[in-house]
């Protein structure tokens, strides 16, 4: 990339990769954005966001990219904006109802979900907002069962899953699921490790080689889309026709075949220098 950056956000749209915002040195927050063309193997600049953002969220609906919330370097943001890659233009959107940074976000059934995070006073949030491009507004839904910041989320079918995070006292291993049919949250079996600032991924693996860490044999079976997570006896899908539906990933345990080493979406985060009044 042309700029070194941390606490940025990336998304793939239209076969190209976009990286937005972040911080180059832990103090100065960026508004800049870059686009990577896989076929050309090169980066190009795209128009800057209207606001400098780090620890924020992005989503994609109908070929457009949405950016919302985050930390500007001076304050927590509620602002939201939308980028049209075709015309190369940002437009302002209605703001979040609660300013927040370092929250979980995902897109499900054509709507953008924003969950938890931190706000002024370093308060950890449980509130959840949904943006509908058709209604052009943010609406509250039932909050998380457990407040969480630095958590991560993915969507499968009509379910939204939120993993881990921290509540200001301890790091969580909880998994919370929102069912769009019942409009309610439930707790699922917890992860083996508490983790925050992690990443989760959903894989579509119609026909896959399933590796059993405790076996030298490889079997081929049909698998429904699933969350890769830590479990004994569950292997790793690996096939030429695998497709990645979402690019965030909570936890991946590599079994004995790989020497028992762990490859986890956990990075030790040193928070940006947030003023005490935040």
pLDDT value of residue 68: 97
pLDDT value of residue 190: 92
Q: Which residues pair with 118 in a beta bridge?
A: 101, 124
pTM: 0.75
CA nearest to 248, candidates 196, 177, 200: 200
pLDDT (average), residues 236-242: 31
Lowest mean pLDDT among 35-39, 197-201, 204-208: 204-208
Asked whether the predicted pLDDT for residue 227 surpasses 70, the reply is no
Task: Evaluate whether 86 touches 63 at the Cβ level (below 8 Å).
Answer: yes
- Distance CA(131)–CA(146), nearest Å, equals 21
pLDDT (average), residues 193-212: 67
Asked whether the predicted pLDDT for residue 28 surpasses 70, the reply is yes
Half-sphere exposure of 1 (CA within 13 A, CB side): 18
CATH code assigned to 1-95: 2.40.10
What mean pLDDT value characterizes the chain? 78
Binned at pLDDT 50, 70 and 90, residue 196 comes out as confident
CA nearest to 208, candidates 225, 197, 221, 194: 221
pLDDT value of residue 168: 87
Asked whether the predicted pLDDT for residue 84 surpasses 90, the reply is yes
Asked whether the predicted pLDDT for residue 47 surpasses 80, the reply is yes
pLDDT value of residue 277: 30
CA nearest to 169, candidates 208, 217, 123, 136: 123
Every domain range in the chain assigned CATH 2.40.10: 1-95
| DSSP calls for the chain | --S--BS-EEEEETTEEEEE--BSSSSSBP--EEEEETTTTEEEEEPPPSS--BS-EEEEETTEEEEE--B-SSSB---EEEEETTTTEEEEEPPPSS--BS-EEEEETTEEEEE--EEGGGEEP--EEEEETTTTEEEEEPPPSS--BS-EEEEETTEEEEE--B-SSSB---EEEEETTTTEEEEEPPPSS--SSB-EEEEE-SEEEEEPTT-S-EEEEE---EE----TT---EE-TT-EEEEEEES-EE--GGGTT-EE-SB---------TT-
Asked whether the predicted pLDDT for residue 262 surpasses 90, the reply is no
Task: Evaluate whether 105 touches 113 at the Cβ level (below 8 Å).
Answer: yes
What tokens were used for 96?
A: 């979040």
């Amino acid at each position: 990339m042309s700029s070194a950056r941390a606490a940025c956000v990336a998304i793939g749209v239209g076969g190209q990769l976009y990286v937005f915002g972040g911080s180059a040195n832990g103090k100065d927050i960026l508004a800049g954005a870059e686009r990577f063309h896989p076929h050309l193997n090169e980066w190009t600049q795209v128009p800057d966001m209207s606001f400098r953002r780090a620890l924020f969220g992005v989503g994609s609906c109908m070929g457009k990219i949405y950016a919302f919330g985050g930390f500007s370097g001076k304050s927590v943001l509620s602002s939201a904006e939308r980028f049209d890659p075709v015309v190369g233009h940002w437009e302002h959107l209605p703001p979040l109802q609660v300013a927040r940074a370092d929250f979980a976000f995902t897109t499900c059934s054509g709507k953008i979900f924003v969950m938890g995070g931190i706000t002024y006073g370093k308060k950890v949030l449980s509130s959840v907002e949904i943006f509908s491009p058709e209604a052009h507004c943010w609406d509250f839904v039932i909050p998380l069962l457990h407040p969480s910041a630095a958590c991560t989320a993915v969507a499968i079918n009509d379910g939204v899953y939120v993993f881990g995070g921290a509540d200001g006292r301890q790091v969580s291993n909880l998994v919370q699921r929102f069912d769009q049919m019942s409009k309610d949250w439930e707790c699922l079996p917890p992860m083996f490790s508490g983790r925050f600032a992690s990443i989760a991924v959903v894989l579509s693996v119609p026909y896959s080689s399933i590796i059993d860490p405790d076996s030298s044999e490889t079997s081929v079976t049909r698998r429904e889309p699933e969350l890769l997570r830590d479990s004994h006896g569950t292997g790793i899908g690996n096939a030429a026709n695998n497709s990645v539906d979402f690019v965030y990933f909570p936890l991946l345990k590599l079994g004995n075949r790989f020497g028992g080493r762990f490859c986890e979406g956990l990075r030790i985060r040193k928070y940006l220098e947030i003023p005490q009044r935040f």
